[in-house]
Amino acid sequence: MAYKILKKEEIAPSVHRMIVNAPDVAKAAKAGQFIILRINEKGERIPLTIADFEKDKGEITVIFQEMGKTTKQLAKLSEGEFLEDFVGPLGTPADIRKLGTVILVGGGVGVAPIYPQAKAYTRAGNRVISIIGARNKDLLILEDEMRNASSELYIATDDGSKGHHGFVTDIMKRILDSGDKIARVVIIGPPIMMKVGTEVASPYDVEILVSLNSIMVDGTGMCGGCRVTVDGKTKFTCVDGPEFDARKVDFVELMNRLAMYRNEETKAVEKYEEECRCGLH
């Protein structure tokens, strides 16, 4: 079956929100899970975190940034068009339960997977302190949605154009220093942000979780491209995660693996853009 694109909008420069009709996926979806989509029968399979879901309506929301060839192709699709494949929900759901006070930290497009967790932690009876950030105010996403889903919302921008002038980790440290009893910190964003955030939070008596969705390729455990070392053991992000104990993640290895195929990805984008200029797409 094909999956209809019900709504599509650009919510920040090169960042798009897409709502897809996928009743079976929506019925089973939980915060922290992802889907695998394919644009057409010759297309690449790419994983995207579920940013929202409406079980009654049968709708799944994904948010993606134009980075590689397939996300650039995806950005060209319009409402009313169809996707060939939309498989899920995949991955282990986030461990959501009543804990007390939880800090959720989202950086850049990492705010998208933080949003369903904010809603779920709130529904479970937690006090949810959310911190979201981006390089500048124009790149911030889901600000209103995060405010509605959280007990408190803080904003940080690298250039100071909105909220705290600095990093999300600055605000996180300030809250941890305040003496409030924090049960858990969840950090999702670029690997370097998750690494630094883990280092900042590690001295405190708090559980720290990160979501390593950025390294997934195949999404089913078959390709092995998402291998990460956690507590000295090899794990597959797509089936064992994507959520892990941050203190046990080998972030250096993670970032090195993410850089492995950068040249091939760049060449694929260049070829695609050249074909677009020539009218082949």
Q: What is the pLDDT of residue 277?
A: 59
Q: What is the pLDDT of residue 179?
A: 87
Binding site annotation covers 64? yes
Q: What is the pLDDT of residue 266?
A: 59
Binding site annotation covers 278? no
Binding site annotation covers 238? yes
Binding site annotation covers 276? no
Q: Which residues of the chain have pLDDT under 50?
A: 272
Q: How far apart are CA 269 and CA 24, in angstroms?
A: 33
Least Cα distance to 63 among 17, 103, 26, 28 occurs for 17
pLDDT digits (tens, 9 = 90+) for 72-91: 999 999 999 999 999 999 98
Every domain of the chain with CATH number 2.40.30.10 lies at 3-90
pLDDT digits (tens, 9 = 90+) for 58-77: 999 999 999 888 899 999 99
Every domain of the chain with CATH number 3.40.50.80 lies at 92-204
Question: Fold for domain 92-204?
Answer: Rossmann fold (3.40.50)
Alpha-carbon distances of 222 from 38, 51, 216, 276, rounded to whole Å = 17, 24, 11, 32
CATH number of the 3-90 domain = 2.40.30.10
Q: What is the pLDDT of residue 56?
A: 95
